[in-house]
Structures are given as structure tokens and as C-alpha cells.
Amino acid sequence: MKFVDEAFIDVAAGDGGNGCVSFRHEKYKEFGGPDGGDGGRGGHVYALADPNLNTLIDFRYARRHEAKRGQHGMGSDRFGAAADDITLKMPIGTLICDAETGDVLHELMTPGERVLVAKGGDGGFGNLRFKSSINRAPRQKTPGWPGEKKSLKLELKVLADVGLLGMPNAGKSTFITAVSNARPKIADYPFTTLYPHLGVVRVGPEQSFVVADIPGLIEGASEGAGLGHQFLRHLQRTRLLLHIVDIAPFDEGVDPVAQARSIVAELKKYDKALHAKPRWLVLNKLDMVPAEERAARVKDFVRRLRWKGPVFEISALTREGCEPLVQAIYRHVRAEQDAAAPDAPRDPRFDD
């Protein structure tokens, strides 16, 4: 299935039914009085967070969603029936924004969460409503109120605990394949990842975390170069970023330190809050470096980059060093969860 993380739709709630002007007509009752009922309410439009969905592709081809109007009022004190509501199923993590102003209207974060995105119009009043002691035969009625109509922008931000950063061909897809159940495309050329992949990393029984792999970033990504800028939003809800660097590039003219600096610069240009997230350095492809040269190369890289945070040395291909990294990530994510909501119910994934 094609991954779609952005869509524009138009929603229209149903108009309310019109009120009715009617008078009772019964045998031997010459002046039966007004009996026109109210119109029915128009259908609402709801959005529902469905955990079985992971893309907005359904809304790429179905752009307009319109509820029906309420039934008109009728004589003999009969009110019009309300129209059926419609429910739009969306992936968890969907932002519902006003397409014109960009304001965030709703954010679907909980499975089964249901929010009202367009309210149906109320039904109009029939002449039964206008009866009084001085107005015995009213002929007034009101039309139904119009339903809300909105143009919406849907934006999906995947829910993951850990996000992977890096240049194309840094080994992000190989890493997520090595540690999780995700199976992205892997090849010896850049941009093999064209859309985000999610992988569940199992540390133990009922102990796991979710990793998100996005297309590789290149210099100028924050201005739209390459593919990764389109998916940086998917890292905004993560608790930790792993900056994966190819420590042994095939091209001897490529400087891994310069590449690492450019990634950090693009991250800061795109979103300072994203740049401020905890970030670990993961030096990948150590299997391509002779064993006797590894320590010196890693030390030189860290010194030139002036890196002060955690550093991990791995080979995603041979899985060397992956297990200690996974355990460290699990402990960090668990600590982050506890610090964010110490009194909240614990996530069962992090129960011992």
C-alpha cells in the first residue's frame, strides 16, 4: 500500500430540516389548532482514531465527505427524523487542521478517540412552537439551520519512541531490520527508503519500543531538497533520536564528520524543538573497518565532531554492538515515560 501522510478534504455536515406549518383537521373540530412539527437535525461528521490504519491514502481519492440533511417537520405533531452521522476513520497520530488558517483543530492520539469535526444544523421550528394565548393560529415557521462546512488538512505524524536520522545509505534500514520486525527495502544505492517504516523492537516479554525510519536527509533538506524533509514531522513525537553515521564510506572523498554536521544543521533549521530532543550518535559499518583501526577512527571522529553525548559503535549488517544499544534505548525510553507522567498508568510495554 502506498504511504500517504498528508491529505486535503472537504467535510459538510447536514443541514437541519425545515419546520412545518400545519393545522389539525379532525371531524367535529373546526378550529383544531397548529400541529406543525420541527425539522430534524442534520448529520454530524466525526473523526475516529483507528489503530488498524497507518496511512491517509483513503482520503487522497475521496476528497468530499457530506452528511445528509435532517427530515422536514410534518403535520399531526410529527417532528422530522435526525439524519445519520458519518464517521471518518483515521490513523492514530493524525492532526486535523483548518486548511485555510492552518490552525490545529483536533489531534487523534488515543485508539478509539472520536471527535466532532463538523456539526450538523439544528432543525427549524414548526408552527406548533409559535402557539400562544394571543396567537391561536400561527403561520410562522423557520428553516433548518445550515450544517458546518470545512476544508481540512490531515497530517499524519507516526507514533514512535525512537527516530532514526542519517544520510542516505548510512545503514538506517539495515539497522531497523536487524533489531525489529520491520523489513524495509535495502540496496547499495541512496534513497532506497521512500517513506517511513515503523518497527517494533522486542527487548523481553511485554517489553518493547517502536522505531521510526525516515528517508535519508541531505544538505538543504529543510528547504525541500531530497526526500527526508517531507517526513521530518514523523520524528517530532519521538523520545529519542539516533543519528546513524557511516563510519566507512566507499567514497574516500566523503567526510563523515561534515555529513554529520550537515544533518544536525538541517535538523535545527527545520524545528528547534526537534533539534533539542535527546540525540545519540551511532557509528555504523564497523565491519568495514579493520579491527586494529576501529578505536583510532572512532576517537578521531568524535574529537573532530566535538560530540559530547552518548556514542555507540555497531555493525548493523553483522549485528555487532546492536544488543547493548537496544538495551540502552529501552532504559532511556522507560525513564522518559516515567518522568513525563509519574502518576499516570504505566505503559504495559515497560513493565518488568
pLDDT in tens, 238-279: 889 999 998 888 777 788 888 888 888 878 887 788 888 899
Q: What is the pLDDT of residue 339?
A: 77
Q: What is the pLDDT of residue 120?
A: 97
Q: What is the pLDDT of residue 352?
A: 46
Q: What is the pLDDT of residue 108?
A: 93
204-221 tens-digit pLDDT: 777 788 888 877 554 554
CA angle 222–176–50, rounded 5-degree value: 80
Residue 228 has pLDDT above 50, yes or no: no
Residue 87 has pLDDT above 90, yes or no: yes
Return phi, psi of residue 304, to 5°.
Answer: -70, -35
End-to-end CA distance of the chain: 36
Residue 193 has pLDDT above 90, yes or no: no
142-168 tens-digit pLDDT: 999 999 999 999 988 877 888 888 887
Query: Rg for the chain (alpha carbons), in Å?
Result: 29
Per-residue confidence at 98, pLDDT binned at 50, 70, 90?
A: very high
Q: What is the pLDDT of residue 214?
A: 76
- Residue ranges with strand state E in the chain: 6-12, 45-50, 64-66, 86-91, 94-98, 104-107, 114-118, 149-156, 162-165, 197-204, 207-213, 240-246, 279-284, 311-313
Residue 226 has pLDDT above 50, yes or no: no
Residue 187 has pLDDT above 50, yes or no: no
**Cβ–Cβ < 8 Å for 162, 176:** no
- List alpha helices for 93-201, DSSP H: 172-179
Average the pLDDT over 11-22 and give the result: 96
Q: What is the pLDDT of residue 3?
A: 57
Class of domain 162-340: alpha beta
Q: What is the pLDDT of residue 32?
A: 79
The three cell numbers locating residue 140: 410562522
**Average pLDDT for the chain:** 84
Q: What is the pLDDT of residue 178?
A: 87
pTM of the model: 0.72
Q: What is the pLDDT of residue 219?
A: 52
175-185 tens-digit pLDDT: 888 888 766 54
Q: What is the pLDDT of residue 347?
A: 53
Residue 308 has pLDDT above 80, yes or no: yes
Average the pLDDT over 323-344 and give the result: 80
Cα distances from 105 to residues 95, 101, 153, 231, in angstroms, run 8, 11, 10, 21
Q: What is the pLDDT of residue 264?
A: 85
| Topology annotation, domain 6-156 | Spo0b-associated Gtp-binding Protein; Chain: A, (2.70.210)
51-64 tens-digit pLDDT: 888 788 889 888 99
**Cβ–Cβ < 8 Å for 185, 173:** yes
User: Domains of the chain: which residue ranges?
Assistant: 6-156, 162-340
Residue 140 has pLDDT above 90, yes or no: yes
